[in-house]
Structure formats: C-alpha cells, structure tokens
C-alpha cells in the first residue's frame, strides 16, 4: 500500500506534504488490505520523481501521524525519496508516539565533504554522504526506542572497487568515523542498504584490507569483516584463515559488532579471567548479556579453542541479544541432515538447527557437522559476515 506525494522546490529544498485526511485515508485502506491478506504489508510513502535532482528533500507528515501509525498495527513504514529509501520497523513507529509533537519532517540531505577533515574526504571519496533527520516541534527524534531503520542509498561500485570492502561510516560532528558493522550493496538494484539505530550523517566509504594468505571461498567474508575493523590479521598481511580461534577471540568480534559499552560495574564472575587481561571486560559483557556461559561454576577457559557447536550457541545467543530475527529460507531444515547429529550436545542443538535453517551452516561435504571440532577463523568469518549482511537485506 503506497501513496505518491508530489514535491515542490521551496528555498532550495524539495518539499512534500501529506495532509491529515490523506494519512487517515491511507491507513484505513492499509487496514482493509491487511485484513484480507495473510501477510501484513508495509505502508509506503513515495516522493514523486519531480525531486530527482534534489540535494535536500523533506517529507512532512501531519500532526497526529505518530498516534495513527502506532495504533494501526503497521509493521513497517517506508519513505522513498530520490536520495534514499528509509524503512522503519514497529519499534521506531512506536517511538514516534512518545517523542513527536506536532507535524513531523523526515529529511534527507546530500553533504559536501569539502570542508570536512582530510580522513573523511579520503575514505568517502566521491561516494554519497547523507544527513538523515526527523524533526518536529519539540526538536529531533534522537532515540528510536531500540528500533531499526534500514537505509538504502543508490550506489554502483566503481571500477576496481570490491563490493565487500564498501563500508558505511557514521560521521560525527568532529569528523570522527565509526564503521557501521552491517551493510550490503545489492548489485541487482544498485542500492547500498544498512541498518541503524539513530539518524545522523552517514557516508559510503572504502577500506580494502589485503591478506596474502586468504583466497577461495572465504575471501569475500574475511574482506567484509576486515573492512569494518571487526577482525585483524597477524602482522602486516596475513590472516591465517585455517587457524583456530579461542573463546575470548570470538567474543571480542561479537563485542565490536554490538557497539555495546563494555564498562560494566560489578565483580568479574570467573576466577580464571584476570581483570588486567585484554578480554576481561569482553567476557564480563558476554556473561552479563547471557551470550556466553562458563565451563564450570566460576571458570570460563578464555584460551580454550572455540568448538563449532560453542560458536553456534554464542552466535545464537548474540542474535537474541540484539533482538534480530534470522531469516528462514530452509524451513524444513533439521539436524537430521547431519550424520553425526547424535554428537551435538543437547544444549547446542536448537542454535545449530536455527543457523542451519537460516542457511548459514551446511556442514561438511560428507554430511558432518563436527560439533566438537575447533572452528577456524575463516569458518567464523563466514557466519559473522552472513549475519551482518542478512541484517541489511
């Protein structure tokens, strides 16, 4: 269900306004359509093609929109403009009701990087940089209430650019760059999509890391994670893809992906985790959030190599921690496809099956999962990259 909204130039800004009657009528039509369908569809507002050359667009929604949307049951609100498409989930819609006063302006603006620090210009080059904001009478919507907005920006990879090395960065007021862990360029529709928890200035950059010992099936996954600073190599140009990971090393990647604060009050729950060690705060965070448990009442064994089933469980718990719902392309998948399914620990079976149904693990060519085998760095990279890419699709 969608409404096409015509735009007009006002003081250099392409503006479009949805009236109160239009909004009420559109939501009623959506309810009727949703009632006759087994699948609830998104509500989409499209800024007309007349704004194709705009450098700044603004879509105004009338006073009362927040309450109408919150009470409608609409799962996603999509705003389509020539500069970007914004898809807001239910939590974002609910956040509007508690924060927005009066009319609401959703704005997307192109940003010129000429006056920005050298690093910003170097990383973003000629790629799009956009300022995203939601304004209302009381200021701006700064908190999405834990919700997510998927942002899609038109972009095609330039000659010589490796798709997995394209990264979206949050650009702070002082020019500091922070990589957004997720993100994916869909070459079929020419859109780079990423998911964020707040609006600000975001730009597409490029950060290709070279590893001489990475090739074949794992190269794209390692490139993807390294570009975002989630994994590092050994020395200047080696990744050691076939080497194993420790439990602490794997959790360190999850911690970087989360963006959570690792400054946690309270006593470290594990006696074998010394406060001065590099992984102490990471393990404390993982324990507090229920992502990783110990190997006994008060031991964690941070230097033990992480097994394939342990990795699946920690990743499954992380997915629940960030409240992300994995896709299920293989709804019929089950542990029955693994010949060594009886060797999978009872506490790991649900998470292994969930990742299998999500299409993230397939096992060996011989039909084995090998739950007790140590997971390699490249195997971990594949699962982590698939998770982050899936969050952007």
In DSSP notation, 343-389 reads GS-GGGHHHHHHHHHTTS----TTS---TTSBPBHHHHHHHHHHHHH
Give the separation between CA 175 and CA 121, rounded to whole angstroms: 10
**Helices 219-227 and 377-390: crossing angle, nearest 10°?**
70
Inter-residue long-range contacts of 365-368, CB under 8 Å, 24+ positions, other chains counted: 366/339, 367/337, 367/338, 367/339, 368/338, 368/339, 368/340
| Residue with tokens 């960065």, as numbered in its chain | 169
Give the separation between CA 38 and CA 305, rounded to whole angstroms: 46
Give the pLDDT means over successive 10-residue stretches in the chain (393 positions): 83 89 91 70 81 81 92 92 94 93 95 92 96 95 92 96 98 95 96 97 97 97 98 93 98 97 87 94 96 93 98 98 88 86 97 94 92 97 98 90
Q: 129-136 and 43-47 as β-strands: parallel, antiparallel, unpaired? A: unpaired
Q: Which residues pair with 86 in a beta bridge?
A: 79, 151
Break the chain into its structural domains and give their ranges: 2-206, 216-390
Give the separation between CA 155 and CA 373, rounded to whole angstroms: 41
pLDDT of the residue at 37: 63
The Cα-based distances of 126 to 52, 115, 178, 292 in angstroms read 19, 14, 18, 42
> Residue 224 is encoded by which pair of tokens?
């993807």
Burial (CB count <10 Å: 0-12, 13-18, 19+), residue 182: buried
Give the separation between CA 377 and CA 393, rounded to whole angstroms: 25
Give me the CATH topology for the region 2-206.
Answer: Chondroitinase Ac; Chain A, domain 3 (2.60.220)
| Phi/psi at 91 (5° precision) | -65, -35
The Cα-based distances of 196 to 170, 180, 388 in angstroms read 10, 8, 12
pLDDT of the residue at 40: 64
């Amino acid at each position: 269900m969608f409404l096409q909204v015509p735009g007009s130039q006002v003081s250099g800004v392409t503006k479009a306004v949805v009236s109160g009657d239009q909004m009420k009528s559109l939501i009623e039509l959506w309810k009727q359509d949703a009632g006759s369908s087994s699948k609830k569809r998104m509500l989409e507002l499209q800024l007309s093609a007349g704004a194709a050359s705009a450098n700044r667009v603004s879509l105004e929604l009338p006073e009362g929109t927040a309450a109408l949307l919150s009470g409608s049951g609409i799962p996603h609100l999509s705003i389509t403009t020539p500069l970007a498409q914004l898809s807001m989930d239910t939590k974002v819609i609910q956040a509007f009701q508690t924060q927005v006063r009066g009319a609401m302006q959703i704005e997307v603006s192109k940003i010129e990087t000429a006056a920005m620090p050298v690093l910003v210009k170097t990383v973003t080059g000629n790629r799009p940089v956009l300022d995203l904001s939601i304004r209302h009478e009381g200021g701006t919507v700064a908190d999405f209430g834990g919700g997510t907005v998927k942002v899609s920006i038109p972009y095609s990879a330039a000659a010589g650019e490796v798709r997995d090395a394209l990264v979206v960065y949050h650009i702070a007021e002082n020019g500091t760059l922070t990589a957004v862990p997720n993100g994916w360029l869909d070459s079929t529709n020419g859109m780079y999509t990423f998911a964020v928890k707040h609006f600000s200035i975001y730009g597409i950059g490029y950060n290709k890391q070279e590893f001489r010992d990475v090739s074949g099936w794992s190269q794209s996954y390692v490139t993807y994670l390294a570009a975002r600073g989630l994994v590092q190599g050994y020395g200047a140009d080696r990744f050691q893809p076939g080497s194993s990971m420790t439990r602490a090393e794997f959790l360190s990647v999850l911690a970087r992906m989360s963006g959570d604060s690792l400054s946690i009050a309270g006593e470290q729950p594990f006696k074998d985790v010394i406060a001065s060690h590099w992984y102490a705060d990471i393990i404390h965070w993982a324990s507090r959030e229920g992502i990783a448990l110990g190997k006994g009442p008060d031991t964690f064994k941070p230097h033990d190599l992480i097994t394939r089933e342990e990795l699946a469980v920690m990743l499954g718990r992380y997915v629940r921690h960030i409240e992300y719902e994995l896709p299920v392309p293989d709804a019929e998948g089950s542990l029955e496809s693994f010949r060594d399914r009886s060797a999978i620990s009872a506490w790991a079976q649900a998470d292994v099956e969930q990742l299998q149904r999500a299409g993230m693990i397939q096992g060996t060519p011989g039909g084995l999962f090998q739950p007790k085998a140590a997971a390699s760095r490249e195997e971990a990279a594949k699962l982590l990259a698939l998770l982050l890419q899936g969050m952007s699709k």
